[in-house]
């Protein structure tokens, strides 16, 4: 048998078959359960995308209403989770850590619920956790969820207690739909590894949140926006970005492991951001961000010729979520609120065709060391 090859970062290794999404990095296309992203994301409700990912088809009106009600009925948080969030807020934990802790704590009330019930509960409760935590961190009491609002509208409502406009809901819904699933990314792989051991969904989602938290995965939009603010005016863009590259820093919101052309999600989110900022937002900030994107792309082409570093999803995520009034710290947790749809769907898929995920490692250490008793070591 030939020796297996080591693939750092598992790049190019196919570790799962999926019907959920297809990422074509060369063509810059993202297919969600058979539909082009740009065909679905700007039109669908988030609940429709959840149904699509879970059932592999679009729902009828009655099915959609049934799912909407099932999720709405599971939004409220049990007392142990709220107690934990209060303790996390008192300690000033980052929102992503609070989300991870709170999701894990839902196991207390879930008991031996089946996979479907766990998925409904986790998807439904995530926005309530993020909004409740955010208010606790401001010294404000959490707001009870409103069952009559959609998933996206209720999330915005729970953050500030104001019924959101149709434009804001549409913008958030487009964002949630756009990042709901994306092939075998690091957090989805993590979830599939955990569920492949026949573990539970709470464990899989807790692990996935841990993977999403890192700045090389879902933690980039905050820093991407900070760069825009740091630059401040168009004429400073080139000097600031050049200095970052010269110091060996990565430009946040650019580059991708799979895409070699512009991330199609960036296009969908750019269009959504443009609509949002045109109706309610700082148009100057939007224009500055567009300028920074162009300068960054030119500098990256110069910095890494042939690498084709392009705008990724995080750059316009930052702009869109900022335009929605979300604090930077909420960007990654909001990503998780959306990706829960994909994570849970991947767990269903892995569970249905399971084989424990157990790759191999290449041993590169010594072979012939001899044990020395403690007292004989220098």
Binding site residues, ligand ACO, CB under 6 A: 216-218, 220, 250-257, 304, 307, 309, 312-314
Q: Which residue is nearest to ligand ACO (CB)?
A: 255
CB 337 within 8 A of CB 130: yes
Minimal distance in Å, beta carbon 321 to ligand ACO? 13
Please tell me whether residue 318 adopts helix, strand or coil conformation.
helix
Give the integer Cα–Cα distance in Å for 66 and 48. 11
Active site residues: 256, 314
| Cβ nearer to ligand ACO, comparing 10 with 27 | 10
| Cβ nearer to ligand ACO, comparing 140 with 298 | 298
| Cβ nearer to ligand ACO, comparing 61 with 247 | 247
* Percent of residues in the chain assigned helix, strand, coil, to nearest 5: 60, 5, 35
Minimal distance in Å, beta carbon 67 to ligand ACO? 26
Token duo for residue 131: 């909004």
| Cβ nearer to ligand ACO, comparing 89 with 309 | 309
Give the integer Cα–Cα distance in Å for 141 and 53. 34
Terminal CA-to-CA distance of the chain, rounded, Å?
43
| Cβ nearer to ligand ACO, comparing 46 with 259 | 259
Sorted by sequence, the CB contacts under 8 Å of residue 322 that are 6+ apart come out as 225, 285, 328
Minimal distance in Å, beta carbon 51 to ligand ACO? 23
Give the integer Cα–Cα distance in Å for 244 and 203. 38
Minimal distance in Å, beta carbon 357 to ligand ACO? 20
| Cβ nearer to ligand ACO, comparing 149 with 241 | 241
């Amino acid at each position: 048998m030939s020796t297996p090859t080591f693939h750092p970062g598992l790049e190019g290794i196919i570790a799962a078959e999926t019907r959920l999404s297809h990422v074509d990095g060369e063509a810059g296309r993202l297919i969600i359960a058979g539909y082009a992203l740009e065909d679905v994301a700007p039109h669908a409700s988030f609940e429709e995308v959840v149904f699509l990912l879970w059932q592999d088809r679009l729902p009828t009106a009655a099915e959609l209403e049934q799912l909407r009600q099932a999720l709405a009925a599971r939004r409220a948080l049990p007392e142990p989770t709220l107690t934990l969030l209060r303790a996390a807020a008192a300690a000033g934990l980052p929102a992503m850590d609070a989300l991870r802790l709170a999701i894990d704590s839902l196991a207390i009330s879930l008991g031996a619920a089946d996979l479907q019930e766990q998925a409904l509960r986790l998807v439904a409760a995530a926005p309530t956790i993020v909004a409740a935590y955010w208010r606790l961190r401001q010294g404000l009491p959490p707001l009870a969820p409103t069952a009559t609002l959609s998933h996206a509208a209720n999330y915005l409502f729970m953050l500030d207690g104001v019924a959101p406009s149709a434009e804001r809901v549409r913008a958030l819904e487009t964002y949630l739909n756009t990042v709901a699933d994306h092939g075998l990314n690091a957090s989805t792989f993590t979830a599939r590894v955990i569920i492949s051991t026949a573990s539970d969904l709470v464990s899989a989602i807790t692990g996935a949140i841990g993977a999403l938290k890192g700045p090389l995965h879902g933690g980039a939009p905050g820093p991407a926006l900070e760069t825009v603010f740091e630059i401040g005016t168009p004429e400073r863009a080139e000097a600031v970005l050049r200095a970052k590259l010269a110091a060996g820093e990565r430009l946040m919101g650019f580059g991708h492991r799979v895409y070699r052309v512009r991330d199609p999600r960036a296009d969908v989110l750019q269009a959504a951001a443009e609509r949002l900022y045109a109706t309610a937002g700082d148009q100057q900030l939007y224009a500055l961000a567009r300028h920074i994107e162009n300068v960054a792309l030119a500098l990256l082409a110069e910095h890494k010729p042939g690498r084709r570093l392009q705008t990724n999803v995080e750059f316009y995520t930052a702009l869109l979520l900022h335009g929605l009034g979300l604090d930077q710290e909420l960007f990654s947790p909001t990503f998780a609120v959306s990706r829960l749809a994909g994570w849970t769907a991947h767990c269903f898929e892995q569970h249905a065709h399971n084989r424990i995920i157990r790759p191999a490692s290449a041993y590169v250490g010594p072979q012939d060391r001899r044990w020395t008793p403690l007292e004989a070591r220098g």
